Amino acid sequence: MTNKTYTTIANLRVKIFADGADKAGMLEMAAKPFIQGLTTNPTLMKKAGIIDYKAFALDILREIHDKPISFEVFSDEFFEMERQANEIASWGDNVYVKIPITNTRREGAYELIGRLANNGVKLNVTAIMTLEQVRGVMEKLNPAVPGYISVFAGRIADTGRDPIPLMAEAVSMLKTNPLAELIWASPRELLNIFQADAIGCQVITLTNDVLKKLELVGKDLADYSLKTVKMFYNDAQTAGYTI
């Protein structure tokens, strides 16, 4: 079996979005022409030490206003999610509102998704992991309003399941709504970019630590092997190991 070699990202169809909540990192990635959008979530914001949610979002939006960016609601009650969603949507034309597919009681957010979409709110429906969930969202999105369906392919892979067949089927399902785009979310490695591209997935979100590996695309494997050997050797020397 021959391993396929990927040498460039220039001819990719899939759009690369940066996922994070560190302002410096977000601005660094937003400045790169191959980054076509950004996403964040409450977990990333907590890890980054963000205390004032709205102040952080508005600060970012003063700097990033020419690329789509997603901010997530954080209530567990649908009526409050709706209020938050409408507030977040008012912050900018490039803002997408992330709505979780269910609340913590496993109650589906489909009716809320429908109301918001029909009200013109651009949505990013998140934490999706089944085709049934994809189908339910597709039934509620407004075909005249742009939206993202974010399937957590990386977390699906974490369970020992191959996410590619599910993602490929989701791509087919989205063909009925030209303004709905599939996001390959929670990727675990750079290879996922090329897997997403191969099946026609429109978007993939990547954290900065994964994005920094882009320089490795197409790297000579023999050279990479030697670099790894040198790393082991140098670390052993600097540690002063003896036997």
Q: Strand 123-128 vs strand 95-100: parallel, antiparallel, or unpaired?
A: parallel
227 found inside a domain:
no
Per-residue pLDDT averaged across 76-87, rounded? 98
Query: What is the residue whose two structure tokens read 């978007």?
Result: 203
3 pLDDT tier (thresholds 50, 70, 90): low
- Residue 141 lies in domain: 15-218
- What DSSP designation does 3 have? P
154 found inside a domain:
yes
Q: Which residues pair with 16 in a beta bridge?
A: 35, 204
Residue 171 has pLDDT above 60, yes or no: yes
The pLDDT value given to residue 208: 87
241 found inside a domain:
no
The pLDDT value given to residue 215: 86
167 found inside a domain:
yes
pLDDT tens sequence across 14-46:
999 999 999 999 999 999 999 999 999 999 999
Nearest CA among 87, 9, 38 for reference residue 206: 38
Residues ≥6 apart with Cβ < 8 Å to 190: 210, 213, 214, 216, 217
The pair of structure tokens assigned to 165 is: 């067949």
The pair of structure tokens assigned to 198 is: 């191969």
9 found inside a domain:
no
**Do residues 204 and 16 make contact, with C-beta atoms less than 8 angstroms apart?**
yes
Residue 93 has pLDDT above 90, yes or no: yes
Nearest CA among 93, 73, 76 for reference residue 85: 73
Residues 17-36 as b or e (16 or more Cβ within 10 Å = b)? bbbbbbeebbeebbeeeebe
25 found inside a domain:
yes
What CA–CA distance (Å, rounded) separates 196 from 189? 12
7 found inside a domain:
no
What is the CATH number for 105? 3.20.20.70
What CA–CA distance (Å, rounded) separates 191 from 198? 11
Q: Which residues pair with 184 in a beta bridge?
A: 151, 204
pLDDT tens sequence across 105-125:
999 999 999 999 999 999 999
**Do residues 150 and 130 make contact, with C-beta atoms less than 8 angstroms apart?**
no
Q: For the chain, state the CA radius of gyration.
A: 20
Nearest CA among 169, 226, 222 for reference residue 200: 169
226 found inside a domain:
no
pTM to 2 decimals?
A: 0.92
Residue 10 has pLDDT above 80, yes or no: no
User: Which three-class secondary structure state does DSSP give residue 72?
Assistant: strand
Count of domains observed in the chain: 1
Residue 4 has pLDDT above 80, yes or no: no
